[in-house]
Structure 1
Amino acid sequence: MTELTKSTADAGTAEPAAAPAPAAASAEPAVARVTQWGEIRHRFVANKLAVFGLVLVLALFLTAIFAPLIAPQDPYHQDLTNTLQDPSGEHLLGTDALGRDQLSRIIYGSRIAVEVGLASIFLACAIGVVVGALAGYFGKATDSVLMRVADVFFAFPLIIGAIVIIMAMGRGVMPVIISLAVFSWPTVSRLLRSSILSVREADYVHAARALGASTSRIIIRHIIPNSIAAVMAYAAFSVGGAIVAEASLSFLGVGVSPEVPEWGNMLAGAKDFLGVKDFLWVYPSIAIVLTVLGFVFVGDGLRDALDPKLR
């Protein structure tokens, strides 16, 4: 009787059986999905010069957007009692021959640079992508005719051709944008054409044709997205070139109006004071150099990120 009572008590106090381990504990950890754009972003960020260039470009954009808040004075205001003043507390970068604040004019000049640089290259890429896609995809007679048209525009030097168009249309920002775009699209078209020639016979293009996809759908959805990398890198490079070309046109007196705060106009006004008031040309030149370097570094980073085989 005693043994039966003891065994009953032991049974009442026995520890419950251990619960089975959850199945999730033994599962493999989830692997983060790496996308193509994620790899491109990683390669771009790993390029220190590209990041530095991006900082310069962002600084240019912010300066252009917030120019009215950043500029210490009205860039058009003339103070004939304070002409050609050296940099000072009142005018950090001095004044020009008409007493206008240099710093304010450089800040506002970033607006013209951004507007002309981006708009002209966007327009050139829009024309060049259409022409290059048609030439590369259809080939034969279409390719021959379109590339001969491009050769005609290649025959004109950019500045000379731009001057001809501006003289016909008149001075201003829009004529400058159009003139630069007209003589820049042939390079875009040739770049895209070369890329398309290497992908138009790919398996996925043949599969799209077999499934009955239209020509426009094949070009827009399959050909261009897989051929556009070189054009994107070229576009980033070319914005800086367009800014230099626009400043050159204004320096020659055929760009925007002389009273407009623009870096080329500032250099044109400083040429009569070389060796006397060098701050008049040094600071606008620094603005141009930093801007061009920023876009060059970004373009170089994009080229390496989009196609690491080119490194």
Structure 2
Amino acid sequence: MTELTKSTADSGTAEPAAGAATATANAEPAVARITQWGEIRHRFVANKLAVVGLVLVAVLFLTAIFAPLLAPQDPYHQDLTNTLADPSSAHWLGTDALGRDQFSRIIFGTRIAVEVGLASIFLACTIGIVIGALSGYFGKATDSVLMRIADVFFAFPLIIGAIVIIMAMGRGVMPVIISLAVFSWPTVARLLRSSILSVREADYVHAARALGAGTSRIIIRHIIPNSIAAVMAYAAFSVGGAIVAEASLSFLGVGVSPEVPEWGNMLAGAKDFLGVKDYLWVYPSIAIVLTVLGFVFVGDGLRDALDPKLR
């Protein structure tokens, strides 16, 4: 009887000990699992210039969205009794040759910059991704034909080619967007093609093909997502370039209409007053520089964050 009681007591003591050990093991903090995109985000935030660029781009977007609330005056209003006025409390950045408020026109100019920059690069990336994916995945004759077509567009200088298209379509925001996209997609196509040439022979692609996945599914679900990093960084860089190209076209008189508040138009109107009313060109130029720097810094941060050598 004593031995039975002792045995029962021993077994009763052992069970809580095992349970306690299990509870202790379960109570240990689990190691946080860092995802691929979490690591990319961490590297991007660690890049100080990238964060500065992101702030500049955010300010640009907010200014474009709330331009009617931020602009103190109507950017189209002409006050012919107050032309070429120096910066003052009434007109923070002065007025132009037609008496229009410079500050209000710069604020509304962000709308054209954002619209043209984002739309043209989005269209260029869409065309380039489709052609680059087909060229890189199928190779051989398809690759040769598509890349020769891209070479034809590479042969045209961007501004000259854009002028030709705008002259054919007429001036306006949409012709500018289309003209910039038409001569920007070849770079996207080549970037994606180069990435796909290395990805298409990966084991997961062969496995998907062996399981019976169709060509379109393999390209959309496996090839493009694992090859798109270079295109994302290029797109961020190119938005700034598109904004400069659009301003250049307007400065040359073939972009948007002259009365539209746009930075290139403002610079075109200021060229006759160089050395006399320098504020007419200084402030639009600062707006262009800060905008381009913002997108360049973001693109540089994306390139470093997405670089597989740093993973």
Query: Residue 8 of structure 1: CA displacement?
Result: 23
Distance 1:171 1:13 in 2: 89
Change (3 A) 1:290 1:27: same
Coordinate RMSD, CA, aligned: 4.5
The equivalent residue for 1:89 is 89
Q: CA deviation at 1:115?
A: 0.1
The alpha carbon displacement at 1:20 in A equals 5.8
Query: Which residue of structure 1 aligns with residue 59 of structure 2?
Result: 59
Shift of 1:16: 15
After superposition, what is the alpha-carbon deviation per residue over 1:176-234, rounded to whole angstroms, capped at 9, x for unaligned? 00000000000000000000001110111111111111000000000000000000000
Mapped pair 1:170 → 2:139: no
In structure 1, the partner of 2:72 is 72
Q: Corresponding residue for 1:212?
A: 212
Mapped to 1, the partners of 2:10 and 2:43 lie a distance apart of 67
Distance 1:167 1:65 in 2: 30
Greater shift after overlay, 15-24 or 62-71?
A: 15-24
- 1:99 and 1:216, CA in 2 relative to 1: closer, same or farther beyond 3 A? same
The residue aligned with 1:259 is: 259
What is the DSSP-based 3-state SS (H/G/I as helix, E as strand, rest coil) of the residue aligned with 1:98? coil
Give, in angstroms, the shift of residue 24 of structure 1.
3.7
Identity of aligned residues (%): 92
Q: Using the TM superposition, give the Cα deviation of residue 17 of structure 1 relative to its aligned residue in structure 2, in angstroms.
A: 13
Change (3 A) 1:116 1:11: closer
Residues 164, 3 of structure 1: alpha-carbon distance in 2 compared, 3 angstrom cutoff: closer
Deviations 1:41-72 (A, max 9, x none): 00000000000000000000000000000000
Tell me if structure 2 keeps the 8 A contact 1:303–1:310.
no
* 1:132–1:188 CA contact under 8 A, matched in 2: yes
Deviation of 1:303 after TM superposition, in Å, equals: 0.5
Q: Distance in 2 between matches of 1:94 and 1:112?
A: 21
Q: 1:29 Cα deviation (Å)? A: 1.1
Does structure 2 retain, via aligned residues, the 8 Å contact 1:75–1:101? yes
1:27 Cα deviation from its structure 2 partner? 3.8
Give a deviation string over 1:135-172, Cα, whole Å, max 9, x none.
00000000000000000000000000000000000000
Counterparts of 1:227 and 1:14 in 2: how far apart (Å)? 57
Check 1:173–1:310 CA distance in 2 against 1; reply closer, same or farther (3 A cut): farther
Question: Does structure 2 retain, via aligned residues, the 8 Å contact 1:93–1:103?
Answer: yes
**Larger displacement relative to structure 2 (17-26 or 281-290):** 17-26
Distance of aligned partners of 1:308 and 1:49 in 2 relative to their CA distance in 1, 3 Å threshold:
farther
SS at structure 2 position matched to 1:259: coil
Preserved contact between residue 60 and residue 110 of structure 1 (Cα < 8 Å): yes
Contact 1:95 1:102 (8 Å CA) reproduced: yes
* 1:270-297 C-alpha deviation (Å, 9 max, x unpaired): 0000000000000000000000000000
Measured in 2, the distance between the counterparts of 1:185 and 1:2 equals 90
SS at match of 2:222: helix
Distance 1:3 1:280, change over 3 A: closer
Q: What is the rounded CA distance, in whole Å, between the counterparts of 2:258 and 2:4 in structure 1?
A: 113
Distance 1:7 1:207 in 2: 58
- 1:33 is displaced (CA, Å) by 1.8
Structure 2: how far apart are the matches of 1:10 and 1:189?
74
| Distance apart, 1:10 and its partner CA | 23
Structure 1 stretches of 4+ with a deviation exceeding 6 A read 1-19
Q: Alpha carbons of 1:271 and 1:7: their partners in 2 closer, same or farther (altered >3 Å)?
A: closer
- Separation in structure 1 between the aligned mates of residue 13 and residue 205 of structure 2, nearest angstrom: 74
CA distance in 2, matches of 1:188, 1:229: 11
TM-score, normalising length: structure 1: 0.93
Higher mean C-alpha deviation, range 127-136 or range 3-12: 3-12
**Per the alignment, do residues 166 and 13 of structure 1 end up closer, same or farther by CA in structure 2, a change over 3 Å counting?**
closer
- Conservation of the 8 A alpha-carbon contact between 1:237 and 1:298: yes
Stretch moving more, 127-136 or 13-22 = 13-22
Shift of 1:28: 2.4
| Larger-Rg structure | 1
Instruction: Please give the residue correspondences for 1:262-301 in structure 2 after superposition, counting only pairs within 5 Å.
Output: 262-301=262-301
